[in-house]
Structure 1
Amino acid sequence: MPKSTVRKKKVYTPPADVRPATTTAVRKKPSHVALPITAVALIVLGIGWLVVYYLSEGAYPVASWKYWNLAVGFGGMVAALGILSRWR
């Protein structure tokens, strides 16, 4: 049986009116030194808050907040994650 010919597709080039203008690459500045330090501090404080809460069986850091102490601890860690997403 004869072998079929292979058709090559042309490389797509968008029309000139749709094509983005070529510009030089803009380099963004690196992050400030305080950004990772703040993020690590929030992680440590969040974990520390949770450890103190569990080890004191809810008596510390703030007894009247009850389970909201968990939200404070995890909230600190989530805030650190948000800060680290901005790190360059």
Structure 2
Amino acid sequence: MPESKPRKRAARPTEAATTQQYKPNPIWYKPVMFGLMIIGLLWIITFYITSGQLPVPAWASWNIVAGFGIAIVGFLMTTRWRS
């Protein structure tokens, strides 16, 4: 009985070709990211402690949305953070 020929394997790309080279974030990225999260939290806390008198009285309950919006921008920055 004739022997079958071995199959040729496809050439594998080298490991360096498969991994992307990421540059680390600039030095200001981490303080801004954490700063936005803290400012958003402090905005909401200030609104509740002052019974809606601060930070912007004209916005009324929209101050909560503003605080969460600021904090969410900081949290979204964490998805792009590289060290």
- TM-score, normalized by length of structure 2? 0.75
Unaligned runs of 5+ in 1: 1-15
The total of aligned residue pairs comes to 71
What corresponds to 1:68 in structure 2? 62
Question: How far off its partner does 1:28 sit?
Answer: 1.0
Q: Which has the larger helix fraction?
A: 2
- Hey, what's the Cα distance between the residues in 1 that align with 2:49 and 2:56? 13
Q: Is 1:22 aligned with 2:13?
A: yes
Give ranges in structure 2 of 5+ residues lacking alignment.
Answer: 1-9
The 2-side partners of 1:26 and 1:47 are apart by: 35
TM normalised by structure 1 equals 0.71
Q: Which structure would you say has the larger Rg?
A: 1
Q: Quote the sequence identity (%).
A: 29
CA drift of 1:27 comes to: 1.4
Q: Aligned partners of 1:86 and 1:26: how far apart in 2?
A: 15
1:9 corresponds to which residue?
A: none
Structure 2 counterparts to residues 4-23 of structure 1, below 5 A: 22=13
User: C-alpha distance in 1, partners of 2:50/2:20?
Assistant: 52
C-alpha separation in 2, matches of 1:22 and 1:65: 57
Q: Which runs of 4+ in 1 moved over 3 A?
A: none
RMSD: 1.9
